[in-house]
Structures are given as C-alpha cells and as structure tokens.
Structure 1
Amino acid sequence: MEGEKGVGLERVVFFSDAVFAIAITLLVLDIRVPEIPGALVDERLPEELAALWPKYLSYVLSFVVITMYWMGHHSIFSYIRGYDRTLMWLNALFLMAIAFLPFPTSLLGEYGEHRLAVVVYAGSLAVARLLLTAVWWYASAGRRLVDRGLSERMVRAHLLRGLAMPAVFVLSIGVSFLSLSAAMYTWGLLVAADLLAQRALRRRGW
C-alpha cells in the first residue's frame, strides 16, 4: 500500500460528506410553494399541490439514489487506508458529479415527459456511480491504497456492485426510445440490481 496516511484521509471523507449533504439539501429547493391569490387558496391549493407530483417523484428518487451513493462511498472508504493526488482528483470528479445532480433532478421534475430530460437524468446518475467505481478501482488495483490483506472477493464485490446501478440507468436510456414511462419504471430495479450483484458474488464464492 502506497500513498499518504493519517488526518488527510479523514479530511477527504469529511469534505465528501459535506458535498453529499449540500447536494441532498439543494434537491428540495426546486419544490416551491404555489402562489395563489388569498381568496382562491381553499379552492386551488389541493389542485396546485397535486400538480407538483413530478417534482415530488424526482426529489424522492434522487434523494434515495444519492443516499445509496453516499453509503457506497462510505463503504469504499472504510477499506481505503491511504491517499494520493490521483485518488483525490478521482474523488473530486465524483463529488462534482454529485453536486451536479440537483440540476438533472430539476430538469426531470419540470420536463419529465420529454426524452432528453430522462436521458440527461439517467446519464448523470450513471456517470456519477461510474466515477465512484473508478475511485475504488484505482485504490484497490494492486492493493495500491488498501490493506494488502484485502480479499479479491471484496475487491470484485465493490467493482460489480459499482457497475450494477449504472447498468440500470443505461438500460433506462435505451428503453426511453420505446416508452418514457417504461424507462422510469426501470429505475425501480436499482435496489434489485444491487442485491442481485451481491447474490452473484456469493454464488461464485468471491
């Protein structure tokens, strides 16, 4: 294992946590209270709130996915024992992708009936997870920044799980050319894809 150790790695993790927290907080800012004339509030408020359902949906979906990415980041860094400049830049690229996610979330909530919005959203989330997988690949290759005793099974487990979720988003992009609704339904496979990746690893004994 090469690279620097100590307090510096903790700062990388703390900074990453802060970016996640800010990104998740920014998601809700796109859901704004409807502006209704006072005399019409009782009549129009239920309808106006119901009309915001695309924004509610995009908010919840992004909140869940970003939380899963944060958990993945936490899991990966629990095995990393050192850092170098390359790791820091890879992690910074990943965090840049995370900080960008409120934009495609807002785009999906506003224009979810258009294919481009779905493609941008799915593509952004796929790229973000692939960048996190790149962090793990770099740190674990040749046990560069992780414990030498870390099993190959664990290394492959994180690599496979890191590819499962992007695969779902890429699939949804393809499906979007057939049906936008079906493309969005495929996002429900995210948790299943992660669980299937874990099961495949157990069956192969990795």
Structure 2
Amino acid sequence: MTQAPAKRTFFALGRVENYTDAVFAIAATLLVLDLTTTAFGKISSDAELWHQLGAMWPSFMAFGVSSVLLGGLWVSHISQFRDIARADIVLLWLNNARLLFIVLIPFTTSLVSEYSDYYAGRVLLPVNFFFAMALGIATWFWAASKDGHLLKDEAKPDAPSQTVGSVTALIAGGVTVALSPWLGSWAFLTFAVSGPISGVLQKRRKATPSA
C-alpha cells in the first residue's frame, strides 16, 4: 500500500515580513544612540562646539556607513520577499538567524567609533554585515532551491540572475572583511563595484546560449 506524502506546513508570509521590518526599524533607530550619548562638557563658544562636533567624525562616519549598509540589507530583504510566495520552517529560521546579526549592528558600529585603533574595533562591523548578508543570501538560496519551491511562479525565470547578483555581493563582503583591518570602514567601498560586476556577469549569462 503506497503511503501518502507528508503534508508540508507553510506560514503566513505577511507576518514574517512585518516582524522583519520591525527588527530593521529598531536597529536603524538604535544606530543614532551612539551619537546622542556623547557628552561635550562645558561649551562656552561656537568655536568650541564646532571643534567638539568635528572631533566626533569617526562616530558620524560609522553612523553613515552603517545606515547605508543597513538600508541596503533592508532593500535586499524587500526584493527577496517580493518574489517569495510562501514561508516554511527552514526559511523562518534562516530569516531569524539573519535578524540576530541585524540587531547586533548598532553595537558593532559603536566599536568602530570608540575602538578604531584596535583590530577588533575595525573588523567586527564588517564581519557582522558579512554574516547578516550571507544569511540573507542563504534565505534566498533556500527559497529558490528545488525549482523555486517557495517562489512565485512569475519570479522563477529570473531566479538564476538574482542568484548571480547574490554571489557577487557575498564575494564583495568577503573582500571587505579581508581589507577592513587596514582600511576600516573605507573597505565598504568594495561594495560599489559589486553592482557593475554583477550586471556584467548577468549579461554574459543571458548571452550564453543554453546547451
């Protein structure tokens, strides 16, 4: 007697998106706390205030870099879930693992501004972003696996191109981590070239005739 296949359980995608958006919003809000906790002491002139603000440039730079990259991770999340039709338990836990590193971003950002003279202060923020991005890519890979078993039907033909872009971004993230001990937050400029490279690779892939 043939045994019927086990019924798979799926979850409401809207709740996953709402929870994820809330975590991103909290992380983005907490980024500014490192700036607001700075104490200037007694200020007696405009010149002194401008001098104190100028001395905060590492904190402003870390805030700016983290805000841009956190925004990029959120845009990536939006793009992924635009093409995902349903969520299973594996996708839920991959997404939860990504959010673990998202909520750590305010902490590792504060290390950059306070301890940039030390190796750990320079490298932990890039490592944090790398794992957040890698887990986001793993979420997409899982959704697109098994012939796109979690994707919308109309998104399946473009899934390979998005996978190429994800791999390119992951490589850029690895290069950023490798360069960060010497360049600090400037190493994140490597992400500027990942987009054009991804575009070239996708065009070459489309131009290559199928076997």
For residues 147 and 200 of structure 1, what CA distance do their matches in structure 2 show? Answer: 24
- In structure 2, the residue matched to 1:120 is 124
Match of 2:143 among 134, 139, 142: 139
- In structure 1, the residue matched to 2:200 is 199
The reply on whether 1:89 has 2:93 as its aligned counterpart is yes
For residues 26 and 19 of structure 2, what CA distance do their matches in structure 1 show? Answer: 11
CA contact 2:180–2:186 (8 Å) conserved in 1: no
Paired residue type of 1:200: L
- TM-superposed CA distance for 1:200, in Å, is 1.4
The reply on whether 1:68 has 2:72 as its aligned counterpart is yes
SS at match of 2:83: coil
SS at match of 2:103: helix
The reply on whether 1:31 has 2:35 as its aligned counterpart is yes
Which stretch of structure 1 is more off in the superposition, 194-203 or 135-144?
194-203
Q: Residue deviations 1:57-103, cap 9 Å, x none?
A: 01111111011111111111111111111111111111111111111
Point out where structure 2 has 5 or more consecutive residues left out of the alignment.
1-7
Q: Could you state the TM-score of these two structures normalised by the residue count of structure 1?
A: 0.87
CA contact 2:176–2:188 (8 Å) conserved in 1: yes
- TM-superposed CA distance for 1:22, in Å, is 0.6
SS at match of 2:41: coil
Paired residue type of 1:168: A
CA distance change for structure 1 residues 107 and 49 in 2, over 3 Å: closer, same or farther? same
- TM-superposed CA distance for 1:176, in Å, is 4.2
Deviating 4+ runs (over 4 angstroms)? none
Q: Which has the larger radius of gyration?
A: 2
- TM-superposed CA distance for 1:45, in Å, is 1.1
CA distance change for structure 1 residues 149 and 3 in 2, over 3 Å: closer, same or farther? farther
Q: Could you state the TM-score of these two structures normalised by the residue count of structure 2?
A: 0.85
For residues 160 and 114 of structure 2, what CA distance do their matches in structure 1 show? Answer: 38
- In structure 2, the residue matched to 1:172 is 176
Match of 1:111 among 105, 115, 121: 115
For residues 168 and 122 of structure 2, what CA distance do their matches in structure 1 show? Answer: 19
Q: Count how many residue pairs are aligned between Structure 1 and Structure 2.
A: 198
- In structure 1, the residue matched to 2:59 is 55
What's the C-alpha RMSD, in Å, of the aligned pairs? 2.0
Q: Residue deviations 1:115-167, cap 9 Å, x none?
A: 22221111110010000001001111011211345445x22222232233332
For residues 198 and 187 of structure 1, what CA distance do their matches in structure 2 show? Answer: 19
SS at match of 1:37: coil
- TM-superposed CA distance for 1:204, in Å, is 1.6
The reply on whether 1:16 has 2:20 as its aligned counterpart is yes
- In structure 2, the residue matched to 1:42 is 46
CA contact 1:172–1:186 (8 Å) conserved in 2: yes
CA contact 1:127–1:166 (8 Å) conserved in 2: no
SS at match of 2:16: helix
For residues 144 and 29 of structure 1, what CA distance do their matches in structure 2 show? Answer: 41
SS at match of 1:103: helix
Which stretch of structure 1 is more off in the superposition, 127-136 or 184-193?
184-193
Paired residue type of 1:205: K
